[in-house]
Amino acid sequence: MNVEIDRSARVQLSGPAASVIVANPAIADVTVVDANTLFILGKGYGVTEVVAVDGVGRTLFQREIVVTGGSTGTVRVWRGAQATEMACGSSCAPSVRRTQGAGAATP
């Protein structure tokens, strides 16, 4: 399942979830709206897995989540080893996301 960074995807479960696990919370997060509805949020570039299980441990949802850069609206500006992600509309401004520099993942 692909989710763009700073975007969400709705997942409708076949039954009520008792637990939801995100393998790498730096890449994706999950908001539980109700027992049958999840929203997966793209937080950082990369691949992780989300699993939802019911009260007796049966798997309701298990998917690889690939968080990618959006097709428009962002630019990465490099100053030496420091990168700043910019959110762009009619003009660009630094987003709340700061990258780590040369070791950071790229979209």
Radius of gyration of the chain (CA): 16
Beta strands across the sheet bearing 8-12? 8-12, 37-42, 28-34
Tell me the whole-structure pTM to 2 decimals.
0.71
Question: Does pLDDT of 92 surpass 80?
Answer: no
pLDDT confidence of residue 98: 53
Distance CA 67, CA 77 (A): 20
**What's the mean pLDDT when you consider all of the chain?**
85
Q: 104 pLDDT band (50/70/90 cuts)?
A: very low
pLDDT in tens, 42-79: 998 899 999 999 999 999 999 999 998 766 677 778 88
pLDDT in tens, 17-26: 999 999 999 9
Of the candidates 85, 67, 70, the one whose C-alpha atom is nearest the C-alpha of residue 23 is 67
pLDDT confidence of residue 103: 47
